């Protein structure tokens, strides 16, 4: 699977292939939205505000996974000097940054009717804000620093440092007293959500993961082409 991410392989990704993926994505999202906004029932305590969960939870999950992957890619880059790792990490950053922003904004919109406030400086919310700052710093490093090697080193260090924030985000609800509820879905146990809400949540998860994969492929191809252009420029 890793072989298909080799820079030369990604160049064979045509616009037609991307369009097919987008068509699949639109179909999944339409089904997901129908379920989330119409078919799924309102919560007996939170009422219809629970529907925000269908965008908030997948967005938060993708935000964490993206930075986790950036962390792994940064380690592989610094330790094993795998050349295409910075390109992978660089392509993932805008996706993670967007989903972190979505997570914070939708969380805030969910917090107002549920907790009575848009924002509190509790552990989960603050650690998510820290994640957003790490994402922005990571992206800015690549934008501001022209020298590839220098930007690569600094961004890798940011990637590794930011990874330490991930367990803090995950376990913040267990370690501290927070307004945020503990996880309803974990990888190790059965979900406590009723199936009428779990189905739309899973569909929205699939949709957002598909979206992330599409954006990643587009951005990764862009980065590979950029690198090729720079190499040719330097060769000239």
Partner 1 sequence: MNLEFFILGGYGQFVWPAFVFSFVSCTVLFIKAKKELKIQEKVYLTEYAEPLTIKIETAGEKKIIKKVLSGNTI
Q: Does 228 bind partner 1 (CB under 8 A)?
A: yes
Candidate residues 10, 52, 89, 201; the one interacting with partner 1 per rule CB under 8 A: 52
Q: Tell me the HSE value of 225 on the side-chain side, using a 13 A CA sphere.
A: 10
Residue 38 within binding range of partner 1, rule CB under 8 A = yes
Q: Under 8 Å CB-to-CB from 53, ≥6 apart: which residues?
A: 110, 197, 201
Q: Which is nearer to partner 1, 36 or 141 (CB)?
A: 36
Rg, C-alpha atoms of the chain: 19
Closer Cβ to partner 1, 110 or 134, answer by number = 110
Closer CB to partner 1, 69 or 102, in the complex = 102
State the angle between helix axes of 85-115 and 195-235 in degrees (0 to 180), rounded to the nearest 10: 150
Is 185 a binding residue for partner 1 by CB under 8 A? The answer is no
> Which runs of consecutive H residues, i.e. helices, occur in the chain?
7-10, 15-34, 53-80, 85-115, 123-144, 148-163, 165-175, 195-235
Q: What residues are paired with 47 via a beta bridge?
A: 43
Residues 65-124 that bind partner 1 (CB under 8 A): 94-95, 98, 101-102, 105-106, 109-110, 112-113
Binding site for partner 1 (CB under 8 A): 11-12, 33, 37-38, 42, 47-49, 51-52, 55-56, 59, 94-95, 98, 101-102, 105-106, 109-110, 112-113, 211, 214-215, 218-219, 221-222, 225-226, 228-229, 232
């Amino acid at each position: 699977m890793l072989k298909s991410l080799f820079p030369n392989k990604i160049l064979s990704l045509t616009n037609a292939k991307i369009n097919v993926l987008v068509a699949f994505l639109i179909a999944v999202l339409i089904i997901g939205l129908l379920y989330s906004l119409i078919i799924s029932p309102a919560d007996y305590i939170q009422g219809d505000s629970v529907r925000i969960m269908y965008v908030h939870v997948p967005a938060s999950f993708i935000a964490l996974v993206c930075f986790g992957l950036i962390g792994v890619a940064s380690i592989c880059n610094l330790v094993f000097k795998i050349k295409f790792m910075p390109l992978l990490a660089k392509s993932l950053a805008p996706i993670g940054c967007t989903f972190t922003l979505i997570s914070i904004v939708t969380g805030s919109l969910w917090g107002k009717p549920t907790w009575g406030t848009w924002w509190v400086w509790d552990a989960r919310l603050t650690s998510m804000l820290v994640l957003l700052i790490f994402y922005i710093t990571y992206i800015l490093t690549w934008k501001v620093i022209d020298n590839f090697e220098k930007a690569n080193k600094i961004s890798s260090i940011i990637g590794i440092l930011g990874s330490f924030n991930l367990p803090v985000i995950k376990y913040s609800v267990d370690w501290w007293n927070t307004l945020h509820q503990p996880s309803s879905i974990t990888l190790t146990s059965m979900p406590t959500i009723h199936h009428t809400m779990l189905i739309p949540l899973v569909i929205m998860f699939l949709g957002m993961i598909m979206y992330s994969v599409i954006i990643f492929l587009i951005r990764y191809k862009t980065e590979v082409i950029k690198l090729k252009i720079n190499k040719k420029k330097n060769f000239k």
